[in-house]
Amino acid sequence: GDSVTQMEGPVTLSEEAFLTINCTYTATGYPSLFWYVQYPGEGLQLLLKATKADDKGSNKGFEATYRKETTSFHLEKGSVQVSDSAVYFCALSDLNAGNMLTFGGGTRLMVKP
């Protein structure tokens, strides 16, 4: 079945550092890929998405490119802020499975001033 693997955390960075959170996936079809963010005590918020190979999703300074050849969707940000501290989830949605999202395990990011 489909699966998503993302780097384990926590990831601890200083403010203004460069962020990369790795995400790779396994899918039988042509999935859509997502990054969601979860702040303490809240639900999930969509951060960005890409629906086909070579698409780049971007939002709030975060970017991720859908790489079919490496089955990856790594999240990057050039300069993190304390307010980016949260848990980040990579997910895929396979058109053959309706709207079911398959999630990675989540990566906790802590940004220190």
Partner 1 sequence: KAGVTQTPRYLIKTRGQQVTLSCSPISGHRSVSWYQQTPGQGLQFLFEYFSETQRNKGNFPGRFSGRQFSNSRSEMNVSTLELGDSALYLCASSPWDRGETQYFGPGTRLLVL
Specify the residue, 98 or 113, whose C-beta has the smaller distance to partner 1: 98
50-81 burial: b if 16+ Cβ within 10 Å, else e: beeeebebeeeebbbbbbeeebbbbbebeebe
Positions that interact with partner 1 (CB under 8 A): 31-32, 34, 36, 42-46, 49, 51, 89, 93-95, 97-106
CB of 107 to partner 1, least distance (A): 11
CB of 20 to partner 1, least distance (A): 21
Specify the residue, 23 or 93, whose C-beta has the smaller distance to partner 1: 93
CB of 62 to partner 1, least distance (A): 16
Tell me which DSSP letter residue 95 carries.
G
Specify the residue, 77 or 89, whose C-beta has the smaller distance to partner 1: 89
Phi, psi (5° rounding) for residue 96? -75, -10
The dihedral region occupied by 61, where left means phi > 0, alpha psi between -120 and 50, and beta the remainder, is left
If one counts every other C-beta atom within 10 angstroms of the C-beta of residue 97, the result is 16
CB of 15 to partner 1, least distance (A): 28
Specify the residue, 11 or 97, whose C-beta has the smaller distance to partner 1: 97
If one counts every other C-beta atom within 10 angstroms of the C-beta of residue 90, the result is 29
